Structure 1
Amino acid sequence: MRVLHVITGLGIGGAEQQLRLLLRHLPVQGRVVTLTNPGPVAVGIEADGTPVTHLGMTGNRDLGALPRLARLVREGGYDLVHTHLYRACVYGRLAARLGGVRRVIATEHSLGTSQIEGRPLSAGTRALYLASERLGTSTVAVSASVARRLADWGVAPERIEVVPNGIETGRFAFVPRARRLTRGVLGIPEDAFVVGGVGRLAPGKRFDRLIRAVASVPEARLLLVGDGERREELRAVARACGAEGRVHFFGACEDPPADGPAGPMLPELLAAMDVFVSTSPDETFGLAVVEALAAGLPVLYVACPAIEDLPADAAPGARRIGGSVPELVGALHRLRTAHDPGRPGRLPVPAAARRYDIAHSADRLMTLYERAVGSRPGP
C-alpha cells in the first residue's frame, strides 16, 4: 500500500512528532509532504527512511499550492492520502480529489474546547473545515474527547474514528544512571527536588504559572523542556520571581539523526525529574503526561483527555488539580515534603501508559487504511 501523508508543517510539535513515530510502525510505503516549515522533524523523518517534500506554501490563502499538491498526488500513484492539522486537511482533501485519489483519512490532532491549533475557533473556520471534511473518507480523533468535539462541531458521528496518540512505552523506562548523568550535564544537584514541564513555550501552556509556583517552593527547581515564542518572557518571569537560577530552560527536544550530536533526549530528561506538571487547561490528548507516567513519575495535570477518558485506576500516579498558582504551590509542597532525595524511586508503569503504546495505535490505523482501500470510493 502506498500512502501520502500531508501535514501543515514539520517544526517540533506534538502532531509532527506523532507522525514521525507512526511512520516507524506503519507497514506501508509512501512519502510526506509538508506545506510549510520543513523543520527538525522533517530531518528526522528522512533519517528514518521516509522522503519529505516541501511544498513551499506561503500562507493560508496561497491557492497556487493546490495544483502543486494535486500534481504530487497524481504522480505518486497513491492508494490513500492521510492529512494532518487544519490547513493540510483543508487543502489535502481537495488536492487528493483533484489528483484522482478518493480515499482520504484526516487526523484531527488539535481541536480543543475553544481553539484549534492554538487559534480561537470561529464560524468561518468551522464552515471551511466541515465543507472539506465531506470530501474525505473518515476523520480520526486522537482521543474520545476530540471525537465528541468533532461531533458537536457537526461532523457525522459515523465518519469519526478514534485512534489515540501513542508512545514507545518501553523507551521511557526509568534508568537511575540516566538520572545522575543528566543532572550532571544540566548542573542540577543530585538531591534537588526537580519539577518538570514539557511542551511548546506558548501562552496556552501557562508555564508562567508553573514558574511562579516553583518559585514559592523552597529549593525546588524547574526543568522546562520545549521552545517557543514565550521563551524570553518566561525567563523574565523567572527573574521577577527571584527563581532565575532554579529554572532550567532545556529547549526543544527531538531525536537527532543517526549521525547527529549526542545529548539528553526526553527519556533522560524525564529521568532527571521528580514530579511532572502539565498546566495547560485545554488539551486534545496530553501526550507529555502519558510519557511522564511511562517514566514512573507522579503527575499533576490541569487537563488531560488521555487520562480523563480512562477508568480512575488506569493512572493512579496522576492527579488532576486546579490551574491557579496557589493550588499548584499546595500540590508541590505536599510532594516536596514526601520527597526522599536518597531514594528517588519510581512508581510502577500504569495501565494507561501501556494502553497508549504506539504499536496499538499503528495497528488501529492500519485497519482503517485497509478498510478504506478495500471499500468503494464515495461520490
Structure 2
Amino acid sequence: MKALHIITGLGIGGAEQQLRLLLRHLPVECDVVTLTNPGAVADELAADGVRVIHLGMTGNRDLAALPRLVEVIRAGRYDLVHTHLYRACVYGRIGARLAGVKAVVATEHSLGEAQMEGRRLTAGVRALYLASERLGRSTVAVSPTVAERLRRWGVPAPRIEIVPNGVDVARFRFDPVLRAHTRRRLGLPEGAYLVGGIGRLAAGKRFDVLIRAVAQLPDDYWLLLVGGGIEESVLRRAARHAGVADRVLFTGERPAGGFPGADLPSLIAAMDVLASPSAEEAFGLAVVEAMAAGLPVLYVSCPAVEDLPAGAARGARRVRGGAASFARALTEVREEGPAPRSVPHAAHHYCITRSAAQLMNVYAAAVSCT
C-alpha cells in the first residue's frame, strides 16, 4: 500500500508531531504534502527519509493550489489519501476525488465544542466541513469525546472511527540522570519545584493561569513553558506584572529554539508536575506524555483521561477553577511527596504501536471498499 498524507502545515504542533510519530510505525510507504509552512517537522520528516512536498498555498482561498494537489496525487499513484487538519481535509478530500483516489481517510485532531484549530465554529465552517466529509470513506476521531462532537455536528456515526493519539512510551521513560542534567542546563536552583506546561503559546491554552498560580506560591516554585506561539510576549509581560519573571522559563518552539539539546523527554524529566489549564482539548497529548514519564498531572480538560475507566490514569487529577485552584492543587501535590516514576496503565493504553495497528485496520477497510 502507498499512502499520501496531506496536512495544513508542518510547524511544531500536536497534530504535526503525531503525524511524524505515526509514519515511523505504519508499515506503509508514505509521502507527505504540506499545504503551507514547511517548518521544523518537515525537516524532521525529511531526516526520517520521508518525502515532503510543499504545495505553496498562500491562503484559505488559494484555489490555484487545488490543481497542483491533484497533479501530485495522480503522479504518486497512491492507494490511499489521509488528510489532517481542517484546510487540508477540505482541499485534500476534493483533490483526492478529482485525482481518482476513492480511499480517503481524514483525522479530526482538534474539534472542540466552540472552536476548531483556533477558528470559531461558524455555520459556514461546519457546512464546508460536512460537504467535504462526504467525499471521504471515514473520519478518524482521536478520542471518544471528539467522536461524539462529530456525531452532534452531523457526521454519520457509521463513518466515524476512533483511533487515539499515540505515545512512544519508551522514549519518555524517566531517567534520573537526565533529570539532573536538564535541571542544571535550565539553571534551576537546588530544591526548586518545577511546574511544567506544554503546548502552543496561544490564548486558548490559558498558560497565564499557571503564571498567576505560581505568583501565589513560595519562591521555590518555578514554571517551565515548553512551546512557542503568538502569545509568548503576552505571557512574558504577565510574568513581569506578577513579579515572577525570574521564575518563569520559556523554551521557545521545539526544537528550533530555546535550550539547545533539551528535547521534550528531557524537559519532562526535569519537571515535578505537569499542569494543563486549557479549558477545551480534543485529546490531551501532553498529559499522556507526562504520564508516560511517571509525572503527576493536573488538568482542566483531557479526554484522554476522561474517556478511560476510573482509576486507569493514576496520578492525574482534574482542577476546576482558575489560578487559585491551581495554586491549591500544586501545593497538595507537593505535600504528598514525590511518587515513584512508574508508568500508569493509561500511558500504555495510548502506546503508538497500538494506535498504528488500529489505523491500519481503518486503511484496510477504506481500500477494500474501492
TM-score (norm 1): 0.95
Shift of 1:371: 1.6
* Counterpart amino acid of residue 222 in structure 1: L
1:194-205 pair list within 5 angstroms: 194-205=194-205
Q: Which residue of 2 aligns with 1:276?
A: 274
Structure 1 stretches of 4+ moved >4 Å:
none
Q: Which residue of 2 aligns with 1:225?
A: 226
Separation in 2, partners of 1:190, 1:60: 50
Aligned residues of 2:222 and 2:247 also touching (Cα < 8 A):
yes
Q: Which residue of 2 aligns with 1:212?
A: 212
Separation in 2, partners of 1:129, 1:270: 36
Aligned residues of 1:180 and 1:190 also touching (Cα < 8 A):
no
Q: Which residue of 1 aligns with 2:175?
A: 175
Aligned residues of 2:23 and 2:30 also touching (Cα < 8 A):
no
* Counterpart amino acid of residue 371 in structure 1: A
Match of 2:292 among 282, 291, 294: 294
The 3-state SS of whatever aligns with 1:297 is: coil
1:314-325 pair list within 5 angstroms: 314-325=312-323
- Please state if 1:242 is matched with 2:236: no
1:43-54 pair list within 5 angstroms: 43-54=43-54
Q: Deviations over 1:79-130 (max 9, x none)?
A: 0000000000000000001111111000000100110001110000000000
The 3-state SS of whatever aligns with 2:249 is: strand
Separation in 2, partners of 1:199, 1:149: 22
- Please state if 1:41 is matched with 2:35: no
Shift of 1:30: 2.5
Separation in 1, partners of 2:164, 2:264: 20
Shift of 1:17: 0.4
Separation in 2, partners of 1:57, 1:94: 15
The 3-state SS of whatever aligns with 2:45 is: helix
Separation in 2, partners of 1:43, 1:305: 30
Q: Which residue of 1 aligns with 2:360?
A: 366
Q: Deviations over 1:254-295 (max 9, x none)?
A: 499xxxx96111111011111110000000000000000111
Separation in 1, partners of 2:357, 2:12: 25
Give the stretch that moved more between structures: 327-336 or 303-312: 327-336
Shift of 1:66: 0.5
Shift of 1:348: 2.2
Separation in 2, partners of 1:9, 1:97: 21
Q: Which residue of 1 aligns with 2:191?
A: 191
* Counterpart amino acid of residue 150 in structure 1: L
Aligned residues of 1:195 and 1:274 also touching (Cα < 8 A):
yes
Separation in 2, partners of 1:334, 1:374: 53
Aligned residues of 1:281 and 1:323 also touching (Cα < 8 A):
no
Shift of 1:337: 3.0
Shift of 1:52: 0.3
Gaps of 5+ in 1: none
The 3-state SS of whatever aligns with 2:24 is: helix
Match of 1:328 among 318, 323, 326: 326
* Counterpart amino acid of residue 319 in structure 1: R
* Counterpart amino acid of residue 247 in structure 2: R
Separation in 2, partners of 1:187, 1:255: 20
* Counterpart amino acid of residue 311 in structure 2: D
* Counterpart amino acid of residue 240 in structure 1: H
Shift of 1:345: 5.1
Separation in 2, partners of 1:298, 1:108: 28
C-alpha RMSD over aligned residues: 1.3
Aligned residues of 2:174 and 2:341 also touching (Cα < 8 A):
no
Separation in 2, partners of 1:180, 1:369: 43
Q: Which residue of 2 aligns with 1:131?
A: 131
* Counterpart amino acid of residue 251 in structure 2: F
Gaps of 5+ in 2: none
Aligned residues of 2:300 and 2:319 also touching (Cα < 8 A):
yes
Shift of 1:325: 1.2
Q: Which residue of 2 aligns with 1:285?
A: 283
Q: Which residue of 2 aligns with 1:312?
A: 310
Question: Percent identity at matched positions?
Answer: 62
Shift of 1:316: 1.7
* Counterpart amino acid of residue 80 in structure 1: L
Q: Which residue of 1 aligns with 2:340?
A: 346
Aligned residues of 1:8 and 1:35 also touching (Cα < 8 A):
yes
Separation in 1, partners of 2:321, 2:25: 36
Q: Deviations over 1:304-333 (max 9, x none)?
A: 000000011111200001131111111112
Q: Which residue of 1 aligns with 2:100?
A: 100
* Counterpart amino acid of residue 312 in structure 1: A
Aligned residues of 2:164 and 2:350 also touching (Cα < 8 A):
yes
Shift of 1:180: 0.6
The 3-state SS of whatever aligns with 1:25 is: coil
The 3-state SS of whatever aligns with 1:31 is: strand
The 3-state SS of whatever aligns with 1:314 is: coil
TM-score (norm 2): 0.97
- Please state if 1:303 is matched with 2:284: no
Separation in 2, partners of 1:75, 1:338: 59
Shift of 1:372: 1.4
1:113-152 pair list within 5 angstroms: 113-152=113-152
Separation in 1, partners of 2:183, 2:346: 28
Shift of 1:335: 2.2
Separation in 2, partners of 1:151, 1:235: 40
Separation in 2, partners of 1:144, 1:226: 27
* Counterpart amino acid of residue 206 in structure 1: R
* Counterpart amino acid of residue 155 in structure 2: V
Aligned residues of 1:5 and 1:32 also touching (Cα < 8 A):
yes
* Counterpart amino acid of residue 342 in structure 2: P
